[in-house]
Amino acid sequence: MKAIVFERHGPPDVLKYIEVPQPAIKPNEVLVRVKACALNHLDIWVRLGLPGVPIPLPHIPGSDVAGEIAQVGSEVTSVRVGQKVVLAPGVTCGKCPACVSGLDNRCRHFTNLGYMIDGGCAEFVRVPEVNCLPYPENLSFEEAAAVPLVFQTAWHMLVGRAQLQPGEDVLILGASSGVGSAAIQIAKFFGARVIATAGTDEKLQKAKRLGADHGINHKSQKIREEVRRITNKRGVDVVFEHVGTATWDESIASLAPSGRLVTCGATTGFDARIDLRFLFSRQLSLLGSYMGTKSELQTVMKLVAAGRLKPIVDRVFPLAQAAAAHAYLESSSQFGKVVLRV
Ligand SMILES: [Zn+2]
């Protein structure tokens, strides 16, 4: 089969479009003919290499897959050959206390397609049967592939961790990212007031069309000052963080008393500081969040199929042009998801 493979870490041009053996499935797995694979910031980290994370090389990246079942293992009972599927990106042991209690994103063996195992930037990918999600027939393959990772991440952050309530104020950083555009829709679905940040006024207009009530241009405006103005000096109940070092101080300063900051990543850097006097006297909560559970993703897919949540696809590239797609994603000029068509 054709696949995008890298043999060493580095810039986008380490991604090669080559012929590799088709994966062999285990009894509890299915082989999926990939039709579309969406990119995530995770793909960039995996390609660049992360300290202390020995990515197996050579490696096929890609976490977000939509396609058709091509082959099923001998123990597979819930899906059949030819069926359209979207894949849950998280692959776990399925046996530990976390997994059996439905908190599979806390599994010690958690990984994503395309992270410690081969992913979907290929004509075929193998995956456990339990990762197959019902296909939302209202979506194209490119749109369906754009759903799983960012929507499950945003849902777990806002609903699972921050327990967002109707009427609360939420600051969503990086509204033009995949996870940001998902978070705006989820926060509005739960009846929150959304303040979104982005680097251009054009992106802020798009964020407002998705439902954001207020926009802050983080290049020309100071986030904490705009939040104070919009909230009548109170601050927001929830900050949705995934930017890291570049926005951390602004995020902390934007919290209302008893506010919660929830973070799933640090695209601009991992180092942050906090004034502990501020943390305890304002009774703030700092919440870490990692991916989401399969159960949450099932809920998300139901809402997507009903048209209540919708993936935002910015641009589609052919699989062979994965390197160009990575470079485009790194340029941060997109609004929503960058997807590879297979
Ligand atoms: Zn487990």
pLDDT digit string (tens) for 152-207?
Answer: 999 999 999 999 999 999 999 999 999 999 999 999 999 999 999 999 999 999 99
Q: What is the mean pLDDT of residues 209-217?
A: 97
Distance 35 CA to ligand 1 centre (A): 29
Q: Are strands 285-288 and 255-263 parallel, antiparallel or unpaired?
A: parallel
pLDDT band at 35 (very low <50, low <70, confident <90, very high): very high
The Cβ of residue 191 has, within 10 Å, a number of other Cβ atoms equal to 11
Q: What is the mean pLDDT of residues 223-232?
A: 98
Distance 200 CA to ligand 1 centre (A): 42
Distance 109 CA to ligand 1 centre (A): 6
Distance 25 CA to ligand 1 centre (A): 20
Tell me if 242 sits within 8 A of 173, measured CB to CB: yes
Distance 289 CA to ligand 1 centre (A): 17
Q: Which two structure tokens, joined as six digits, stand for 13?
A: 């041009």
Residue 314 pLDDT greater than 90, yes or no = yes
Residues 6+ apart with CB under 8 A from 214: 193, 194, 195, 196, 226, 230
Tell me if 178 sits within 8 A of 209, measured CB to CB: no
In this prediction the pTM is 0.96
Distance 112 CA to ligand 1 centre (A): 13
What percent of the chain clears pLDDT 90, i.e. is strictly above it? 98
Which residues are registered as beta bridge partners of 117? 113
Report the chain's mean pLDDT, rounded to a whole number: 97
Distance 63 CA to ligand 1 centre (A): 19
The C-alpha R_g of the chain, in whole angstroms, comes to 20
Cα gap 113→90, rounded to integer Å: 7
* Residue entry with tokens 């405006």: 221
Distance 108 CA to ligand 1 centre (A): 6
What percent of the chain clears pLDDT 70, i.e. is strictly above it? 100
Q: Which two structure tokens, joined as six digits, stand for 267?
A: 């695209």
Q: What is the mean pLDDT of residues 31-40?
A: 98
178 to each of 66, 96, 170, how far by Cα in Å?
17, 31, 17
Question: In a 3-state reduction of DSSP, which class is residue 132?
Answer: strand
Distance 90 CA to ligand 1 centre (A): 11
Question: In a 3-state reduction of DSSP, which class is residue 316?
Answer: strand
Q: 137 phi and psi, to 5 degrees? A: -65, -15
User: For the segment 100-138, what is each residue's pLDDT rounded down to a tens digit?
Assistant: 999 999 999 999 999 999 999 999 999 999 999 999 999
Cα gap 298→287, rounded to integer Å: 23
pLDDT band at 332 (very low <50, low <70, confident <90, very high): confident
Distance 93 CA to ligand 1 centre (A): 4
